[in-house]
Amino acid sequence: MRNLRNIRYNSWNPSTDLNGEIITSTCWDPAKDEVLCTFGPSEQDGNIRLVRISEHVRPSSIDIECQDVASWDAPSPNPDLAVDRVVNSHHFSDNLTTCLVLEGGDIVVVQESETLTPQDGVHIEIMGSIDEGITAASWSPDEELLAVATKANTVVFMSRSFDGITDMTMTTNDLKASKHVSVGWGKKETQFQGRGAKALRDPTIPEKVDQGVLNPDDDGSTIISWRGDGAYVAINSIEPGIRRVIRVYSRDGVLDSVSEPVDGMDGALSWRPSGNLVAGVQRLEDRVDVIFFERNGLRHGQFSLRPPEDRSLTKDRIRLEWNSDSTVLAVTLDDRIQLWSVSNYQWYLKQEILTHKQLHCLTWHPEKPLRFASAISGKLLLAEYIFEITRGSLTPPYDYGAIVVVDGKTIKITPFRTASVPPPMSLFELKASSPIIDVVFSPANTFMAILHQLGVSVYEWKVQALRSVTPSLVGSLAFTKDITGVDYTPLQITVTENSVVHCLGFEEGPVIQSHPFDRTTGEFSSNTSIFAGSMFGFVRLTQAGSTDVLVQDCLGRLHGVVNQQDELYSVRLPAQLPWSEVIDLAGNVIAIGLSRIGHLYANSRLLMKNCTSFLVTPAHLIVTTTNHLVKFIHLVDADNLEIPPDDPENDERCRNIERGARLVTAMPTYMSLVLQMPRGNLETIYPRAMVVAGIRQLIDAKDYRRAYSYCRTQRVDMNILYDHRPLQFLANVGLFLGQLRDVSYIDLFLSSLRNEDVTQTMYRDTKGVKNQESSEVTSNAVNGGSVNGSSLQGSSKVNTICDAVLSHLHSHKLKDHDTLQNIITANVCKVPPAYEDGLSVVSTLLQQDEQLAEKAVEHICFLADVNTLYDEALGLYHLDLALQVAQQSQRDPREYLPFIQNLHQLPELRRNFAIDDHLGRHEKALTHLYSIQAHKEAQDYTVKHALYAAALKMYRYDQPNLTILTGLYATYLESKSRFREAGLTHESLQDYTAATRCYRAAGTSCWRECLFTAQQQSPPLAPDALTDLATTLAEALYEAKDYASAATIHLDHLNSLKSAIPCLCKGYLFADAMRLAAQRGRPELLASAVDPGLADALSSSTEFFADCKAQLRAQVPRIAELRRKAAEDPLGFYEGERSGAAGGGDIPDDVSVAASSRVSTSASLFTRYTGKGGAGSVGTAGTGVSRATSKNRKREEKKRARGRKGTVYEEEYLVNSARRLVDRVEAARPDVQRLVFGLARRGMHERARALEGLAAEVTDACRVAVNEVFVVPDKNRGAEEGRDEEEDWRPMGADAVLYENLEAAWRKQEPPVITGLERLSLLGS
């Protein structure tokens, strides 16, 4: 689909002092991008003159400079050769050397100096000579070998230093080297021709076998051509008296193959650099063909050259030259150059350049594939082309997908919006009067202008019934000699919407001509022209309504020439970029340009370095990359253009494509993209980014019908129809339903709804513009607001939409079948489904139209589980409806018919009870029993299904039955071990015996209730039994360490002061113990009971503080030591000893503190304590055993909990132990204070003083430990590292345990609180 378009053209006329000499050879200096030409020798002058031609780009012009390099006499060394001839010239850029091979046999090397003036210090030397003479010579592509064919039918290979490597003799025996067996690839004979006798002929035997008959006009020339990799070389020469043959030699000089005989084969030869084809020429009686050979010498296809209309090609000297990337084959004739390209095995004539004079040679640039220099009689032609797809507008509604392919005088037009016609076919074909140079569309696709060698033709694009038809000719303009002159060369064309054609051509320099025309009459007005300076090509305009004409110069600047005045734009590109477009975003102009090496620019900003093609639509900049991805860049300011990452799985702006695919055109109206593969076939895709963007635009325009259609055909979640504009949707539900019309479409939409905002998940707007409407609806839903009068409080999105649809459907006065079907669907699709509402609609229909009701039943059974619907229908107590639903199921009628018949025979309330009991709705069934006064059955039903709460509520005003139910409930609670509630229930029934039993079983928390109900029993409980009960409760409270409650029972219920005082002392309640001893007049108990209690408490407290002191002395220094080791050598701390241990010195220096790769096999912080190997095993993925298992995690969690010494978890264990110790000391402080006070009251001052000192010492040690152990880490460090790990990678399995351990260390921990012990001044402390 690509055409060749000129982007640079210049010519140089030799000065008059050359006496009309012609250019005999040309070669490129790729390092300086200059051409070296030779003049002479000639019959008049035997000198050879070497000149260097260079172009200088200036803001206002492109000037050509000629510098003489050297000149010398070159008389013919062979008497049979009157005038010597330059057979080959080649320049070596690395040492500024030019090598000339002369026909007389001399090989001359011209060594230039490195100064600014090449002629200074030029060294000319004849490196060698071949006496027999030279017919052809060529350097290998790697510039290491020179292949020379001599007049003695020999081939000589020389090295770069011109040392002979090998030489071969071309003899007739070479023709036996290849035994050609052709199977007829690509031949007509091998194609299927029907069942006739002709089809029975052996296709491998051709009807006519060529004998290699020589063309009578053969010039007898020899041509050498290398393969692109330099491994093989082909030599086309005449085997005297036999035929013309192509010999293929290897780099070592070994004959590899010879070509099969071909009648009329000419001397032209060029090996395609990619290596698959060797091109030659065959002259037949009625035509001239370019033929192709494989390396083995067999024919492989051909195409016919197209002669000029005024003559044949019989006498033309034809030469072939492939360009460096094998995309263009240049065919040079006597007065023109034809540039051919191939796609899908079809050859296209892309350009025909008229030279008007004899063409001597053509040389392609070795590094710029489409730049060449051509020597013509009287001048040197320099030109450069690019491959560009000629496409129409991409702006809706003018995005017809118009593509034009140039083939000589024919253009093939395909509007892809009308028909996807694969090349080489097309939908329309138009012919011009001469070979076509350029084709262009106007910005809005109104006009199509064709530039050919003789003039301009303008066509108008026609559309009928949304389909493109053949364009109609508006007018034609012929170039006349009095205006253009003989030397005028048209190059490019553009046409505007206001009917003006601008043509860029070359006379003595670039010229832009303006040709206004009348679209009604087709007449062209008088033209005006301006000097183009360094401008080289028109720039495509994306804006459809634009009438501007922009031209880019060789410095990347943009010029406006619409009024034939050079107006310089403020935006520019960094350099000359062959592919460029200009976008106007509401006055913000952005120039997009692509360089030859794949750099894509927006103005002067480099967007990417791996772009292969791009398109610009009103919404996106679409690019393809060398990573075989197509990317969509939202069009915003040039500085804010965001390149999506290479993540096609998660980003809709990125998509995988076939390797080497290029963009052809885009049709935003159809949301499609056309790509061309390297072999030439086309593929139309519907990228998610374009589809979703198009659907959003259709929703904004309230075109729900087309939006729904694209969602359906492109498999886009239909929730976007609501989520993109929720308020708009709810306000236009009637419009939405009216546009869809089809009942099945509405059902499909309703059934696709779910409670998820797809604009925030799968179809998130990557442009960065937040959907304010969607967030507003979300906020209203959270706050209980309303949308369009419909409250969203407590309502999900699905229910909101279904309610809105139901509201609109119910507003219809006449409800047909389609409306009722949608009503049923809207009810069933709610969350949870409103089966009852849907079945109610069916129930209503059963009374009106049974046939319609039957269809409704079929529909609702299709939407939901039929068994669920059967239960719901039964729950409506509508047996006929339940029967209709059951008939749609797979149930056996013997199952449900008897059941329904039995229900028909029951009274209404009893039937309702049976239905609810069958459906498991027990509470509702209980209400029916209550209604029919079946109290005994209701009590049994309550016990059976544990419906006590509902039954008690129901019988709250029926005291007799309430009492029975309460007793049953108490028994139920007791059976479930809910003794406290059971005791309360029995107590409410005044069953104190059972209440006492339940309270006693409830444990120590109900000891007061238990003693109360025991004393309320009737008949009263025996004194011994009451004493046993109180004693049992006191002992249980003592064991539960509720010493105050146990003392209360001993004092109040057992009347035992002697037992109560030890209990109070055990609970450190010394003040109460001494008060009771004094109150009851028992002072002797102070010495016998209180003092021993004080002694016991002092002993236990002293032991406790001693243990705490020892623990602090052991753990705090150890924690400090561990932290010091971790700070000094974290790798040694977490990974093990780095010295002293076996293999410790072999730890690699790339061990990371945090494992940053899931596939890393190097050591990391998380690998030491999870491996199973020895010193060399780190338990990574290389062991073949996965650590990400629950078993390993549990094992590691046990290690962490133990905190064994020497493990990485030791510090965490010790810190937690210190925290618990401080908490215990703080909790013991009130008891210690009461103990010290009690000792002082009993005169035990020394003991009190000792205890107080010990407690103060431990408290101070705890304060020190808190300050040393619980150091708050750096907040920023913890946050940053935690965030990085969370974003990059989180370990799994056993590694996760260590990660959590370190994360806990980094996380801020509040230190425990320790308060000081209040000392008694009486003790003098």
pTM for the model stands at 0.75
Tokens representing residue 957 in the block? 């005003």
pLDDT band of residue 1169 (cuts 50, 70, 90) is very low
Q: Omega of the bond prior to 59 within 30 degrees of 0, cis?
A: no
Residue 1301 pLDDT > 60, yes or no? Answer: no
For residue 915, the tally of other CB atoms under 10 A from its CB is 23
Residue 1143: per-residue pLDDT: 38
State yes or no: pLDDT of 1279 exceeds 60. Answer: no
Give the burial class of 1306: count Cβ atoms within 10 A of its Cβ; 0-12 exposed, 13-18 middle, 19 or more buried.
Answer: middle
- The mean pLDDT of 866-893, rounded to a whole number, is 85
Question: Across residues 76-92, what is the average pLDDT?
Answer: 90
Furthest-apart CA pair in the chain: how many Å? 159
Residue 643 makes CB contacts below 8 A (sequence gap 6+) with 607, 608, 631, 633
Q: What is the pLDDT of residues 853-866, one digit of tens each?
A: 888 888 888 888 88
pLDDT of residue 320: 95
Q: Is the pLDDT of residue 975 over 90?
A: yes
Closest by CA to 349, choosing from 457, 435, 440, is 435
Residue 692 pLDDT greater than 90, yes or no:
yes
How far apart are the C-alpha atoms of 395 and 417, rounded to whole Å? 13
pLDDT at 1269 over 80: yes
Identity of residue 738: G
The three state secondary structure string of 210-221 is CCCCCCCCCCCC
- pLDDT for 784-840, tens place per residue? 334 443 334 447 899 999 999 999 998 887 777 888 889 999 999 999 999 888 888
pLDDT score at 577: 93
pLDDT for the residue numbered 1285: 41
Each residue of 550-591: pLDDT tens digit?
Answer: 999 989 999 998 887 888 888 999 999 999 999 998 888 999
Task: Pull the structure tokens for residue 1047.
Answer: 């003392």
pLDDT at 459: 95
1266-1269-1272-1277 Cα dihedral, nearest 10 degrees: 180
Q: How confident is the model at residue 1149 (pLDDT cuts 50, 70, 90)?
A: very low
Q: What is the pLDDT of residues 486-545, one digit of tens each?
A: 578 999 999 999 899 999 999 888 899 999 998 888 888 878 888 888 888 999 998 888
- C-alpha–C-alpha distance, residues 1272 and 208, integer Å: 97
Q: What is the mean pLDDT of residues 729-740?
A: 94
Confidence of residue 768 (pLDDT cuts 50, 70, 90): low
Residue 1166 clears pLDDT 50, i.e. is over it:
no
Contact 882, 873 (CB under 8 A): yes
Query: CB atoms < 10 A from the CB of 233, how many?
Result: 23
Residue 351 pLDDT level (bands cut at 50, 70, 90) = very high
Which band of pLDDT confidence, cut at 50, 70 and 90, is reported for residue 326? very high
Residue 199: what pLDDT? Answer: 57
700 vs 1176, residue with greater confidence: 700
Question: How do residues 1216-1252 score in pLDDT, each as one tens digit?
Answer: 888 889 999 999 889 888 888 888 888 888 888 888 8
The pLDDT value given to residue 791: 39
DSSP annotation string for 540-568: EE--TT----EEEETTSEEEE-TTSS-EE
pLDDT average, residue stretch 407-418 = 94
CA–CA separation, 530 and 528 (whole Å): 7
In the structure encoding, which two tokens stand for residue 546, read together?
């634009």
- Does residue 1144 register a pLDDT over 60? no
pLDDT at 771 over 70: no
Residue 355: strand, helix, or coil: coil
User: How would residue 682 be classed by pLDDT, with cut points 50, 70 and 90?
Assistant: very high
Whether 742 has a pLDDT exceeding 70, the answer reads: yes
Q: What's the mean pLDDT in 1282-1306?
A: 52
Distance, CA of 1113 to CA of 1125 (rounded, Å): 19
Grade residue 1286 by pLDDT with cuts at 50, 70 and 90: very low
| Better-predicted residue by pLDDT, 1212 or 320 | 320
pLDDT of residue 1290: 54
Instruction: Tally DSSP H helices, then E strands, for the chain.
Output: 35, 57
- pLDDT interval class at 1206 (50, 70, 90): low
**Which SS3 state, helix, strand or coil, does residue 721 take?**
helix
Q: What's the pLDDT at 37?
A: 94
Name the percent of the chain lying above pLDDT 90: 52
Mean pLDDT, the chain, whole residue set: 85
How far is the C-alpha of 911 from the C-alpha of 877, rounded, in Å?
Answer: 8
The answer to whether the beta carbons of residues 581 and 540 sit under 8 Å apart is yes
Is residue 1148 a contact partner of residue 1163, using CB atoms and an 8 Å limit? yes
The string of pLDDT tens digits covering residues 227-245 is 999 999 999 999 988 899 9
Question: What is the phi-psi region of residue 331: left when phi exceeds 0, alpha when psi lies from -120 to 50, beta otherwise?
Answer: beta
pLDDT of 483 over the 70 cut: no
Using DSSP bridges, classify how beta strands 528-531 and 255-258 pair: parallel, antiparallel or unpaired: unpaired
pLDDT for 1306 beyond 60 = no
Cα dist. 646→50, 643, 653, 760 in Å? 52, 9, 9, 21
Position 778 pLDDT exceeds 70 = no
DSSP state of 485: -
What's the pLDDT at 355? 87
Stretch 342-354: mean pLDDT: 93
Q: Is the pLDDT of residue 169 over 90?
A: yes
Q: Residue 761 above 50 pLDDT?
A: yes
Query: pLDDT tens, 178-222?
Result: 766 655 555 665 666 665 555 556 665 666 778 888 988 888 899
* In contact, 1281 and 1152? CB cutoff 8 Å: no
In the predicted model, what is the mean pLDDT of residues 1243-1262?
89
Which two structure tokens, joined as six digits, stand for 1073?
A: 């113990």
Higher pLDDT, residue 753 or 845: 753
Q: Using omega within 30 degrees of 0 as the cis cutoff, is the peptide bond preceding 443 cis?
A: no
pLDDT(141) > 90: yes
Average pLDDT over residues 313-341: 93
- How many Cβ atoms from other residues are within 10 Å of residue 1210's Cβ? 16
| Helix pair angle (797-810, 743-751), 10° resolution | 160
